[in-house]
Chains A and B, each alone.
Chain A
Amino acid sequence: MKHVILGATALTLLATSAVAQEVTLGRFFGDCEDAGTDTSASVGEACIIQSIINAADAEIDGLSINTLPTDWGNYYDQIVAAYAGGTPPNVHVMHRHRVPEFANIGALADLTDDLEGAGIDPSDWEPAALEAVTYNERIVGVPMDIHANLWHVNMDLMEAAGLVEDGAPILPSSPEEMLEHARMVQEATGQDYLAADFAEFPIGVRVALALIWQQGANIFEGDTATIDTEETRNAISAITQLFDAGLSNPQLNYADSQQAFLNGEAAVLVNGTWVVDFYAAEAARDDEGLNSYFVADFPTLFDEGATWADSHMWAIPSPVKANDPDTYATALQVLAFINDHNLDWARTGHMAVRTSVLESAEYAALPHREEYTGTADIARDTPPSVRYGAIQDALNRELQAIWLTGKSVDAALADAQSDVQDLLDR
């Protein structure tokens, strides 16, 4: 089927006297087959990115894009396997946190000197975005966004609990206040205060990390794990106090927590920027559940503001640049096209990376955008490490052990400490 379509595309391109250069593209974000080419109408991460890709395929002469796997679960396993098998996609998306793992062994093409020629202006990128794609002072990717954890708020429940002021929710400024707010919501509405995926993906880890950073600490510095600390205990007890009081349910996974929020069963959902447009669309629907939606910056419960953040970026494997200049040039065109559509991608809810987009009126006019302008300033992540994935996994395992299986905090932190130290030592 696909071959037929590709073949047909190639034929039409031949007719216009251009030979189609095929570019294979690897991405996650999920499937969206009927995305079309209208980059300003699609909704949700999967469909917006696919519409941009489809538009690039349609608008750039002599180019056809073949989209490879799009699933989340095994994405990096498969990309690693593809690199090792000598068949990496010509262009692929990745997270900033994976850059050290790939760039460390020279797997990513150095784009520094080729960006201008392809029509990409790195000086337009926000400093944080430029830093995200820089490794050893060379640019190894084109950033697409900065995404971060937000508090998605159900205003009806907050209103009922008396936690709304001037059209904005009143959010806690300390763990104690959070517990108090949670009680108020519970008493007024009978619903949970806070929901998040504490049981599956590392979103619970990201909540805990934010609270650790808010106390000026971190989980490792250099080659030393610093998990078994007072700050980590504070962060964990801030979360578990809600579970213990029955004001939040740690057993919901990603889909379940999202459904709880959309059904109006939780006042706050901690989740990323990527769902803002989806929730806004759900809230606009005329039915039960979530009807009044607000997006808030992750509140500061301790000393300084901090929320977990990462970046999506696009990279080209180094063998493509070394062995196949034609494909490399075409791949750069694709990156330029994506870079040009930064505003469209930001419609998901993600923060744009280009200063010119951030300052534009269109960007400011995106739904709910003015409600989380503070997030860019508090965006953080753990220090770069080639073992990032495994470290996140170890943390996720031990934190889940605390709130899902009743493992003692002391034992879990001791185990997490030694596991992460082992990973750093390897």
Chain B
Amino acid sequence: MPQHQGARLVLSQGQAAAILLLPFLTIYAVFLVYPFFKGVWISLHDWNLMAVAFNPDAKAYVGLSNYERVMWGSNITWGAWASPAFQFIGLAGAVASAWLYRTGRAGKVTALAMGGAALLLFVLPGFHPGEGGRWYDRRFWPTVGNTILFVGLAVPGVTITAMLLAAALDGETRAKAVLRTLFFLSQVLSVTVVTLIWQIMFSPRQGLIANLTQLFGGSPIVWLTAEGFAMASIVIATIWWSLGIAMILFLAGIQDISKDLYEAGALDNATGAKAFWYITLPNLKRTITLVVVLQIILHFQVFGQSHLMTNGGPNDTTQVLVRYIYQTAFRDSELGRASAMAVFLFVIMGGFSILQFVLGREKDQ
């Protein structure tokens, strides 16, 4: 390279940085920053998709009324026992995080984050329409609740299954490698292939599961259209689909655990399940946090499973936030309302991202 030295050295660090940064920053500004603010701007308008396309002036500034019409209602009051289940969990969580902090089992930031989230869980479900009042949009909050329920089922499902599999499949033998491949395989399928397979799997007449139950003389479960099973169905399909990456991350985490620990454990008779409980699990804390937060962010954006397998039904029990946004925007043409919901989604996701960031930093300290 010597012959080029003279010419290239003219670039200062700043100039080189500018050249290297410019492509990304341009794309970032045009395709993310600007659209984000435009989204907020749209959410402040009464904006009909079709009408505006035919006449750009057919939109009207309405301030925050889209937010009010989506999230608020008439005569909304607050009660400590309006939604006991959620609120009790919230309260218990707040107490638990205070206790964890007091006893030194959790750091300050972790305790604050957990406590804050728990308090929100206590406060938010407490709002309800009072006498003669009602939500302006009856479906919005139940939709948010369904999304949280989906996350609450899918994330532990994926995390626990993936962790157990990773612990069992860690090792260099050929059999284990083959099994790892098998469990990872479904991860590369596209969401529409997954929904296609599971839609048919769950069908009460054509489905494999129904065929199997009939073989044993049972009557088939109508998975996708029965209230109690519809959500379970899309969660099962999701776990089947997205286990792979979590398992890989756990395998990496397990391989990082020093072999000496296991050898020392073996001397104390800690092998197999015992070793998993006393050695693997405590040393996987960081990986677990990483996997859980990644999965929360991923699954909060669930769309295809609900859209293709259950159409959000029955009775809206599998209607999720992103599908509601999509329908409001492209079926009902109400971009303003849809954007208001999208901003809400952003606030939630942003909260989790900050949590992820904070937890990550605390571990580094």
Among residues of A, the one whose C-beta sits closest to the C-beta of B207 is A256
Does B176 count as interface, using CB distance less than 8 angstroms? no
A251 touches which one: B54, B138, B222 (CB < 8 A)? B222
B interface residues, tally (CB under 8 Å): 34
| A106 contacts the other chain (CB 8 A) | yes
Kindly identify, within residues 329 to 343 of chain B, every residue whose CB is under 8 Å from any CB belonging to chain A: 330-333
Query: Which residues of A lie under 8 Å from residue B50 when comparing CB positions?
Result: 80, 83-84, 101-102, 105, 107
Q: Does A111 contact B (CB under 8 A)?
A: no
Q: Assess whether B331 is in contact with A76, with CB atoms less than 8 Å apart.
A: yes
In the assembled complex, the CB of B128 is this many whole angstroms from the nearest CB of chain A, namely 16
B315 near A80: Cβ-Cβ < 8 Å = no
CA distance A76 to B326 in the complex (A): 13
Q: A76-91: contact bitstring with B at CB < 8 Å (1 yes, 0 no)? A: 1100110111100000
Q: Would A404 and B225 count as touching, CB distance under 8 A? A: yes
Residues on B with C-beta less than 8 A from A252 are: 204-205, 222
Residues A251 and B331 in contact in the complex (CB < 8 Å), given A397-B316, A405-B314: no
A255 B203 Cβ-Cβ under 8 A: yes
Contact of A405 among B203, B227, B311, B333 (CB under 8 A): B227
Instruction: Judge whether B206 and A390 touch: CB under 8 Å.
Output: no
A200 to B311, CA, bound (A): 8
Asked if B332 and A390 make an inter-chain contact with CB atoms under 8 angstroms apart, the answer reads: yes
> Nearest A residue to B330 by beta-carbon distance?
A77
Within 8 A of B (CB), among A179-221: 199-200
Name the residue of chain A whose CB is nearest to the CB of B224: A253
Contact among A80, A83, A105, A107 for B331, CB-based, below 8 A:
A80
Which among B138, B206, B222 is the interface contact of A419 at CB below 8 angstroms? Answer: B138
A397–B134 touching, CB < 8 Å: no
Chain A interface extent, by class: 35 or more
Determine how close the nearest CB of chain B comes to the CB of A317; give it in whole angstroms: 10
B60 to chain A, nearest CB (A): 13
By beta carbon, the residue of chain B nearest A406 is: B227
A70 to chain B, nearest CB (A): 16
Q: Is A376 an interface residue (CB 8 A)?
A: no
The answer to whether A405 touches B315 (Cβ under 8 A) is yes
**Cβ-neighbour of A83 out of B53, B55, B224 (below 8 A):** B53
Task: Establish whether residues A80 and B49, one from each chain, have CB atoms under 8 Å apart when the complex forms.
Answer: yes
A279 → B minimal CB distance (Å) = 17
Chain A 377-420, CB-CB to B under 8 Å as 1, else 0, gives 00000000001011000000110110011110000000100110
A97 to B138, CA, bound (A): 25
Assembled-state Cα–Cα distance A415/B315 (Å): 12
Query: Could you tell me the distance between the alpha carbons of A157 and B224 in the complex, rounded to whole angstroms?
Result: 29
A397–B54 touching, CB < 8 Å: no
User: In residues 299-328 of chain B, which contact A (Cβ within 8 Å)?
Assistant: 308, 311, 313-317, 326-327
CB contacts (< 8 Å) of A73 on chain B: these are 308
Q: List 30 A-B contacts (CB under 8 A).
A: A80-B49, A80-B331, A83-B50, A84-B50, A84-B52, A101-B50, A102-B50, A105-B50, A200-B313, A252-B205, A253-B224, A255-B205, A255-B206, A256-B205, A259-B205, A260-B205, A389-B331, A389-B332, A390-B332, A397-B313, A397-B316, A400-B313, A400-B314, A400-B315, A404-B226, A404-B227, A404-B315, A406-B227, A418-B134, A418-B138
Residues of A within 8 A of B (CB): 73, 76-77, 80-81, 83-86, 101-102, 105-107, 199-200, 251-253, 255-256, 259-260, 387, 389-390, 397-398, 400-401, 404-407, 415, 418-419, 422
